[in-house]
Structure 1
């Protein structure tokens, strides 16, 4: 998983074939977001603010499942 510079998000990973985005939060653990286009993942990696991008473009926009 690529580590990112964020006070809230520790790592992100993407499964292109399945369009799954895995996000590891520093405080609340890991979540999977389903149906995320690759372009959104790439923009997420390159966003000036990882947390702001997550809140505006990912959070509450894709089906989500908490990972153990």
Structure 2
């Protein structure tokens, strides 16, 4: 999945798989997480948010199942 770099104190990059509804986020601490069953609307709102980190914390972090991804 290709991720786009974002300007955030917490997030490095964000990607989205439309077919599988998976949101992938890379954090400054090196972690990469995949959030399942995320609508495209939520992805767009995250990308358009004034603060990506604030939007993530309020709408995704505790509301969505996730798994960690190993970096190659």
The two structures share one fold, judged by TM-score above 0.5: yes
TM-score (norm 1): 0.96
Q: After the TM superposition, which segments of 4 or more aligned residues of structure 1 sit over 6 Å from their partners?
A: none
CA distance in 1 between partners of 2:38 and 2:56 (Å)? 12
Runs (5+) with no aligned partner, structure 2: none
Runs (5+) with no aligned partner, structure 1: none
TM-score (norm 2): 0.91
RMSD: 0.7
Alpha-carbon shift at residue 13 of structure 1 (Å): 0.1
